[in-house]
């Protein structure tokens, strides 16, 4: 348990979104490679890519529907250490899950190294999550949007400088694969019972993700496999 530094090959789907500035690049947020030419991330982004589709009902204030699809100019050269994460219409329980995020290590006035880190996550039921959040500055009448899902962790220090868009992934032992189950909507820093991790549920938005990717490329069937058909 806790934060672990890992090699990129342990999470070959992990993407770091950077914005070009006059003296280099700025780290914006994390993302997940869900197709050789598509990165799924949060709605808050500023990076340059070929095309971006942000959910039409995204709320910048409340973080509802906090998803964006980035379509790359060229397909990623998939290989060992660089691969896609599985997106499924239905997933297993949120057990043995992890969040991957990039932490920044300053190496100069305008340069940094990205360190990929990982922390184990345990599921927190919706009602329990809402109850905990009502005990924070959000107030006793806070309503957690049903498209969110929550986790807890034993993390005792910050996982990264900006975790928005970072993936929550869980193993499916039957299919022998890792599945993308959530996208960080709220900061997941030093967690405790007073600060659960809050994610946009990927399975809740599977239809939207599948439609956008399938339509963009003009596929006849689902971009994520025929077994995902509704």
d(CA 182, CA 149) in angstroms, rounded, equals 8
pLDDT of residue 14: 92
Q: Which fold has domain 3-223?
A: Thrombin, subunit H (2.40.10)
| Domain map (residue ranges) of the chain | 3-223
Cα distance between residue 230 and residue 227, in whole Å: 9
Please count the CA atoms within 13 angstroms of the CA of 75 that sit on its side-chain side: 8
pLDDT given for residue 158 in this prediction = 47
Element (H, E) at 103: strand 97-106
Helix, strand or coil for residue 226? helix
Say how many C-beta atoms besides its own lie within 10 A of residue 78's C-beta. 12
Asked if 39 contacts 29 with a C-beta cutoff of 8 angstroms, the reply is: no
pLDDT confidence of residue 23: 80
Question: Residue 122, CB half-sphere, CA atoms under 13 Å: how many?
Answer: 10
**Spacing of C-alpha 124 from chain mean position:** 17
**Prediction pTM value:** 0.86
Report residue 187 as tokens.
Answer: 């900061």
pLDDT averaged over 10-residue windows placed end to end, the chain, 230 residues: 52 87 80 94 72 87 86 90 91 83 60 75 91 86 91 58 80 90 72 70 94 94 68
Q: Which residue, 15, 119, 115, 113, is CA-closest to 68? A: 15
Residue 75: closest CA among 125, 39, 118: 39
Q: Specify the pLDDT at position 204.
A: 92
Question: What is residue 46's predicted lDDT score, i.e. its pLDDT?
Answer: 55
């Amino acid at each position: 348990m806790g934060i672990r530094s890992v090699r990129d090959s342990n999470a070959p789907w992990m993407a770091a979104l950077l914005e070009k500035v006059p003296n280099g690049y700025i780290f914006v947020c994390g993302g997940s490679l869900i197709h050789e030419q598509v990165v799924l991330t949060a709605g808050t982004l500023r990076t340059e890519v070929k095309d971006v589709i942000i959910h039409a009902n995204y709320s910048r204030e409340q973080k509802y529907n906090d998803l964006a699809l980035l379509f790359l100019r060229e397909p990623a050269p998939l290989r060992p250490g660089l691969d896609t994460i599985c997106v499924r219409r239905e997933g297993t329980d949120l057990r043995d899950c992890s969040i991957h995020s990039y932490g920044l290590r300053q190496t100069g006035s305008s340069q940094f190294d990205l360190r990929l880190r990982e922390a184990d996550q345990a599921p927190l039921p919706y009602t329990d999550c809402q109850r905990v959040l009502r005990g924070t500055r959000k107030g006793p009448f806070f309503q957690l949007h049903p498209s969110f899902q929550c986790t807890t962790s034993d993390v005792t220090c910050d996982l990264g400088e900006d975790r928005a868009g970072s993936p929550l992934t869980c193993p499916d032992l039957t299919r022998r694969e890792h599945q993308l189950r959530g996208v960080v909507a709220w900061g997941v820093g030093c967690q405790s019972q007073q600060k659960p991790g809050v994610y946009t549920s990927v399975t809740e938005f599977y239809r939207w993700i599948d439609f956008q990717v399938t339509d963009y490329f003009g596929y006849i069937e689902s971009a994520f496999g025929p077994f995902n058909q509704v």
